[in-house]
Every structure is written in C-alpha cells, then in structure tokens.
Amino acid sequence: MGHLAIMVGGPYERIPAIKNRQSKELIWIGVDRGALRLLEHGIVPKIALGDFDSVTKEELKTIKNEVADVRVYKAEKDETDTELAVRIAFDEFKPDSVSIYGATGGRMDHFLNNIFMVFQPKLLDHAAKIRLIDVQNTIMYFLPGSHTLSKEQDKKYLAFTCLSPVEKLTIQDAKYRLADADFTHPISLASNEFISDTVNFSFISGMIAVIQSKD
C-alpha cells in the first residue's frame, strides 16, 4: 500500500494542521490520546491502540464506540505505545512510508525514544520509510547510499544528524558542502540551508537523520 499515518499523544501545539490529511486512501493509527485527537478532527483511525493511561474512562468509551479495532495493552510492556504502532503498521499494512505526528516535544525521554526507535532490529529495515513531523520540523532517516532530498515548500534549513559513526559523508548542492567526511561519534551538522529545490548527499556506513526545519 501507499502511505500510513500515526497520531501520537504528544503536545497539541507541536502538531501541524491535519485537515488536509484526510484522504480516503490514507490509513491512520491512533496511539493512546492520539486516537481521541483524530476523532476530534473527524478522522476515524483504522486502529486505536495503547495503554490509554492519558485518557479518562469516558474518553476511552468514546474511542471504543467510534473505532472498530481498539487494542488495549498493559502499561508494563517491552515496547512503548508508539513502537507498537509502528511495528503493527509495517507488519499488517506493509506501507511504503509512515508519518508520525505528536512524537516530538513534551517529555524528553519520550522524544529521544521516538528518535532512536529505528535502531531496533524489527524496525531497522524500515527506517528509511519513517518520518517524524511537527509544526516546525520533518525528520527523515537515511541508510548508506546516494540520496536526493527534495525541499519542502515551507522549509529553509536542514541538518544532517549522524545518529551513529558515519563514513564518507558528502553533501552537494547545499549552502555548506562537505566531501568524504568521517565522523566517529554521533553529531548534528546543523543550520545548513537549501540553495535550490534539491540537495544531493551520500555516505557509505552508518545512519543519518536529515531534519528540514523553519523558524
């Protein structure tokens, strides 16, 4: 299938407008309070899941009345609710890409967990299909190879964040270029800028998160 979206229960003010993301072809998964948030926007998720510790009994009742597939998990488990949603998305729907909303801001431990969950063995092969989106940023993951990044219309800045040691990083067509640079530790090459509609880059080992952002 094509695209799937996941709504997590992060801070409301960090979530972009979703009124233009209601196409019939788009499948939504609501995670914990994220399921209620979707219903408030007139979107009925295909699945609502989580331990639902952030909703009241009445709100959970509303979710169960509106969503056909509600999966309630214990709070004490090996995966976070967001990790469960991402795994289920790929296991059951085989999407070409997954966008996650509500996964940034708020508690720092939750945010870092969401950033690094792509390293889990069950998600690593899907890392390049996952992106995290909020009102100010889009985070995409890249594995070794040559890549062309297209500029989002409202974004000006980009950062190349090495999440692991990276070899031979080359950045072309950006304001600040780089040639065959090696990094032995995680590092964020921040505040680069687009000078055209695309940026080409490549590296031969490691994982990089590219962040497009705006002020």
Residues 41 and 115 in one domain: yes
Residues 197 and 210 in one domain: yes
- pTM for this predicted structure: 0.93
Residues 104 and 176 in one domain: no
Domain range for 53: 1-135
Which CATH number characterizes residue 48's domain? 3.40.50.10240
Residues 24 and 98 in one domain: yes
Residue 21 has pLDDT above 70, yes or no: no
Average pLDDT of the segment spanning 49-66: 95
Residues 46 and 100 in one domain: yes
pLDDT of residue 18: 78
Residues 116 and 148 in one domain: no
Residues 53 and 145 in one domain: no
pLDDT of residue 25: 79
Number of domains in the chain: 2
Residues 98 and 108 in one domain: yes
| Selected residue with higher pLDDT from 24 and 178 | 178
* Per-residue confidence band for 20, with pLDDT thresholds at 50, 70 and 90: low
Residues 118 and 207 in one domain: no
DSSP string covering the chain:
--EEEEE--S-GGGSPP-TT---TT-EEEEETHHHHHHHHTT---SEEEE--TTS-HHHHHHHHHH-S-EEE--SSSSS-HHHHHHHHIIIII--SEEEEES-SSS-HHHHHHHHHGGGSHHHHTTGGGEEEE-SSEEEEEE-SEEEEEEPPTT--EEEEEESS-EEEEEEESBSS-EEEEEESS-EEEEEEEBSSSEEEEEESBS-EEEEEE--
Among 135, 153, 182, residue at a domain's last position: 135
Residues 109 and 5 in one domain: yes
Residues 28 and 110 in one domain: yes
Average pLDDT of the segment spanning 86-102: 96
